[in-house]
Amino acid sequence: MEETRQQLCRELAAAVKKLQGEHVLKKTSPQSKSQDADTLCKVLEIVFLLDLKNEKGQLWSGTRRPNMINPPQPSFWVFIEPMVSDEIKTQLMALRDSESDVMKCRSWLRIMLNKSLLLSFLEDLQRHPGLLSFHYGGESVLRDAERLEIVIQLLRGLSTIQLGYDYTISSLTTWDSSVLQKAGIWQDSSSPNTRRGGRRGTTRS
């Protein structure tokens, strides 16, 4: 898990640096459909999924089975819902697939990035770490004080950049398989590493 946390911070730093460069070069906000903007979002999704617990208090990573055909669809909505503003809840409930907790999680993250609110949300978690223990294991980035500080510092570098993610698309009702694999929640049984019994590693988005 330590290696995974380090890798996530490196990937986040690279994505932020590229988005900053794109902003300076083009003198406009980066396009949300760009590869770097997509990487930023995926890395942050992994941050929120890594060492996440389910409603029974079990780690999602502990429920992974080698013969799973369909990837699981974990949700951290129960964790964030009490902290989501009424305004954003209204936006989420207006979505066509608002009954999907995964949709709410993924859309919430994009709204928070669009509104430059994710930084303050993470700073609140930093001040109140006790909010995390019920929902996350000790290997989570969110419970790692050093890594969380790195994530916060990196997001500060985006404070002047206006992002414009589409948070309404229906594909947000399920997680990208690469995100679940990097979070240690699912392993594609058809992948070479699984067939050979190789060690799961992180891959770049």
What pLDDT digit, counting tens, does each position of 131-188 carry?
999 999 999 999 999 999 999 999 999 988 889 999 999 999 999 999 999 999 988 7
CB atoms within 10 A of CB 118: 21
Asked which of 28-32, 58-62, 77-81 is least confident by mean pLDDT, the reply is 28-32
Query: What is the pLDDT of the chain when averaged over all its residues?
Result: 88
- Asked whether 141 and 151 are in contact (CB, 8 A), the reply is yes
DSSP state, residue 162: -
The proportion of the chain whose per-residue pLDDT surpasses 90, expressed as a percent, equals: 72
Q: What is the pTM of this model?
A: 0.87
pLDDT of residue 203: 33
CA atoms within 13 A on the CB side of 180: 20
CA distance 126 to 40: 20
**pLDDT surpasses 70 at 10:** yes
Q: What pLDDT digit, counting tens, does each position of 149-164 carry? A: 999 999 999 988 889 9
Q: Which domains does the chain have, with CATH numbers?
A: 2-65+72-182 (1.20.58.900)
